């Protein structure tokens, strides 16, 4: 395209997270960037939207040149309000990240990072989520380069209606990335339990905690790719019907209501 692409950048770690700064740096070399992100961390909010409270927006301008809009809301709110209220025209692409921590397997349904890309997809904008497999930080440079490459490809090729790309980058130096794998969503999940504590007034409260469990998925799955040093790219859609089971369900007899 002749004009520069319009790129909407968001995340779920909040507008002051290092990952969104890295993404802003990477994207502004290729397009006109608008940053609209939650004012504070919104991890694990899934596809929440804010309908019972008003949404407030604060302009952010920093000395390092970074500019954006901080939204008192969820990642999905950010994309909605950016497209519907803040931007003059629909962006060419929505990119969410760079999340610190992989978004793979079952866990993607809890992911605010992925939900922002989902919201872009719902608004008929090609969208992607980018995550780095490093919860406590890591080198963001490889993920920046990967993001640029995938965005270029999407701008060139487009994406099918209702489908986003979920990109996960292994936490290794650039020269150790072995390439790209197109993958399926695997079965990694968070096996959780609750730690019970007593407050000074003797009342109980609970902290959710747990550990990531990765049933052995083998080649072809998202987590296997990143563990093997590849960038994982999974095409995700929101047609949730279990079609193979639909036929069996047809044979169940629900008719005889009391």
Instruction: Tell me if residue 225 falls in helix, strand or coil.
Output: helix
Least distance from its own copies to the Cβ atom of residue 117, Å = 12
Q: How far apart are CA 163 and CA 221, in angstroms?
A: 18
Q: Which is nearer to its own copies, 63 or 196 (CB)?
A: 196
Least distance from its own copies to the Cβ atom of residue 73, Å = 9
Least distance from its own copies to the Cβ atom of residue 224, Å = 14
Q: Which is nearer to its own copies, 64 or 250 (CB)?
A: 250
Query: For residue 31, which phi and psi values (nearest 5 degrees)?
Result: -170, -175
Q: Which is nearer to its own copies, 140 or 231 (CB)?
A: 231
**How far does the chain reach from its first CA to its final CA, in angstroms?**
63
Least distance from its own copies to the Cβ atom of residue 187, Å = 9
Nearest to 149 by CA among 17, 45, 27: 27
Angle at CA 91, nearest 5°, toward 26 and 112?
70
Q: Which is nearer to its own copies, 3 or 156 (CB)?
A: 156
List own/partner pairs for 190-199 with CB under 8 A and 24 or more apart. 190/106, 190/107, 190/110
Q: Which is nearer to its own copies, 64 or 253 (CB)?
A: 253
Least distance from its own copies to the Cβ atom of residue 65, Å = 22
Q: Which two tokens stand for residue 132?
A: 């780095």
Radius of gyration of the chain (CA): 20
Least distance from its own copies to the Cβ atom of residue 33, Å = 19
Q: Which two tokens stand for residue 168?
A: 């996960």
Q: Which is nearer to its own copies, 3 or 207 (CB)?
A: 207
Least distance from its own copies to the Cβ atom of residue 119, Å = 9
What's the sign of the alpha-carbon dihedral 137, 139, 142, 147? positive
Q: Which is nearer to its own copies, 64 or 244 (CB)?
A: 244
Q: How far apart are CA 191 and CA 99, in angstroms?
A: 21
What's the distance, CA 47 to chain centroid? 10
């Amino acid at each position: 395209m002749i004009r520069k692409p319009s790129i909407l950048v968001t995340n779920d770690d909040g507008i002051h997270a290092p990952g969104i700064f890295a993404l802003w740096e990477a994207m502004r070399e290729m397009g006109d960037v608008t940053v609209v992100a939650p004012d504070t961390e919104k991890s694990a909010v899934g596809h929440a939207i804010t309908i019972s409270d008003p949404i407030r927006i604060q302009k952010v301008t920093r000395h390092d040149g970074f500019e954006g809009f901080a939204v008192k809301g969820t990642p999905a709110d950010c994309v909605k309000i950016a497209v519907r209220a803040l931007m003059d025209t629909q962006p060419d692409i929505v990119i969410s990240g760079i999340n610190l921590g992989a978004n793979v397997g079952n866990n993607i349904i809890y992911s605010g990072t992925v939900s922002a890309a989902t919201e872009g997809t719902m608004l008929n904008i090609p969208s992607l989520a980018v995550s780095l497999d490093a919860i406590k930080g890591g080198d963001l440079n490889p993920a920046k380069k990967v993001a640029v490459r995938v965005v270029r490809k999407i701008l060139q090729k487009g994406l099918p209606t209702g489908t986003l790309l979920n990109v996960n980058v292994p936490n290794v130096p650039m020269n150790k990335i072995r390439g790209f794998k197109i993958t399926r969503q695997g079965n990694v999940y968070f096996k959780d339990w609750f730690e019970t504590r007593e407050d000074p007034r003797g009342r109980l409260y609970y902290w959710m905690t747990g550990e990531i469990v990765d049933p052995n998925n083998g080649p072809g799955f998202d987590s296997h790719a990143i563990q093997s040093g590849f960038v994982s790219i999974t095409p995700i859609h929101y047609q949730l019907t279990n079609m193979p089971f639909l036929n069996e369900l047809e044979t169940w007899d629900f008719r005889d209501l009391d």
